[in-house]
Amino acid sequence: MMDLLLSFLILAGALFTFIGSLGLVRLRDFYTRLHGPTKASTLGVGSLLVASALYFSTRGEGVSLHEVLVTLFLFITAPVSAHLLSKAALHLKLHSLAPLPQGERSEPSGPNRSTVSQNSERDAQ
Amino acid sequence: MLTGVALPVAFALVAAAFALSFWRLLVGPSAPDRILALDTLYVNAIALLVLLGIQLSSALYFEAALLIALMGFIGTVALCKFLLRGDIIE
Amino acid sequence: MLRPPPHPLVALTLAAVWLLLSNSLAPGQIALGLLLGWAITLFAARFWPTTPRIHRPLLLLRFIGVVLADIVVANLAVARLIVVSPARLRPAFVQVPLALKSDLAISVLANTICLTPGTVSSRLAPDRAHLLVHALDAADPDGLVATIKRRYEAPLREIFEPC
């Protein structure tokens, strides 16, 4: 029974990791490519880590929970790096399939433009 | 079931994920694309290490996975900041 | 020098992280973890001038549960989009007007948006009035904004900044 659950978690995790990278290759502009790795890969690795925690906990050497740490860390950092990558792409004015909304085209430039949002990112960690 | 089917299939899937991300890293076409590919490679490496830990029944790989998670995040943030500001440490 | 930690919750979290890292519940490790939490918060206090207040802890737990469930659902949706129909996506940028004011609440909202239904937060307007969000497949952009505001922003507002 445990074996089946573990196998399911491992297969699902590996499949999501694969789909995340597949999205990286198949999608057509940077902003849509961003979605694959940040979501699918994070959930895939999370699922693998849960499988690992279950596996080591059921081997009779006590509960093993330190995988939770990596999972938490990934789930906190993945959105931050996605946000930063997306901001960098907007800054470089990469081609996008979706039109930018009104008022965003004429972005204010200069070194202090993004201070506000960077402060809020620092708080998130 | 676990070691017979699930683990080899999982290894194959993660290896394929490595190949796809690496392709994006080589092809580009822009700098954020390459950073995103690197970030995905980090996440894939964590997945591979966790799988190795299960395969070899060794908890030692966990520390490596944690370190890669830390370094990967810091690397991505530093590269993004470089793109945004042209400078990392102000 | 023997002061209580300025941020007791952070100190306890650090102690819990230490216990997870050492993967044991031995009394010595618990003592060491609490000592580390106390010392680190004391030394780092000057970097955190304000202490965020959590006004509704139970609502926060419920919010975390909702987000975790949404993460799984959103991932299934994104995976299906990537595998089945990458050519028929309708990506869109939408502006989400923000009612939140504090740094912490806005960053939690941005992180939540990144993890859940097919959206990535892209840029916070310099005056904090709008959050630019990129959606992978938006059939109904206005509905998406309404969903984000109702499902994530409203609870965050109650948790961090009740009026």
Residue C2 lies in a domain: no
Same domain, C144 and C108: yes
Structural domain including C143 reads 57-160
Amino acid A40: pLDDT: 81
Whole-angstrom distance, CA of residue A113 vs CA of residue A67:
38
**Percentage of residues of chain B with pLDDT beyond 90:** 10
Tell me the β-bridge partners of C131. C96, C124
Residue C149 lies in a domain: yes
Same domain, C29 and C104: no
Diameter of chain B by CA atoms? 54
Residue B25 lies in a domain: yes
Scan residues 36-55 of A and list those with Cβ closer than 8 Å to B.
37, 41-42, 44-45, 48-49, 51-52, 55
Amino acid B87: pLDDT: 63
CB B27 within 8 A of CB A29: no
Amino acid A117: pLDDT: 41
CB B65 within 8 A of CB A70: yes
Residue B23 lies in a domain: yes
Summarize pLDDT for A51-63 with one digit per residue, the tens. Answer: 888 888 887 666 7
Residue C25: what residue type? Answer: L
Residue C79 lies in a domain: yes
Q: What count of other Cβ atoms lies within 10 Å of the Cβ of residue C6?
A: 14
C68 against A109, higher pLDDT:
C68
Domain with B20 in it: what CATH number? 1.10.287
Same domain, C97 and C67: yes
Same domain, C123 and C99: yes
CB B34 within 8 A of CB A92: no
Whole-angstrom distance, CA of residue A28 vs CA of residue C97:
28
Same domain, C36 and C71: no
Same domain, C66 and C97: yes
Residue B90 lies in a domain: no
Looking at A40-44, A64-68, A80-84, C108-112, which range is the least confident one? A64-68
Scan residues 63-122 of A and list those with Cβ closer than 8 Å to B.
64, 66-67, 69-70, 73-74, 77-78, 80-81, 84-85, 87-89, 91-92, 94, 111, 114
Domain count, chain C: 2
Q: What is the mean pLDDT of each run of 10 residues along chain C (163 residues)?
A: 68 85 81 86 77 74 86 82 76 78 80 78 75 78 78 78 64
Residue B66 lies in a domain: yes
Domain count, chain B: 1
Summarize pLDDT for B18-60 with one digit per residue, the tens. Answer: 998 898 888 878 888 888 888 899 989 989 998 888 888 877 8
Q: Which residues of chain C approach chain A closer than 8 Å at the C-beta?
A: 17, 20-24, 71-72, 74-75, 78-79, 82-83, 86-87, 89, 91-95, 103-104, 106-108, 110-115, 118, 120-124, 126, 128, 132, 134, 136
Structural domain including B51 reads 2-85
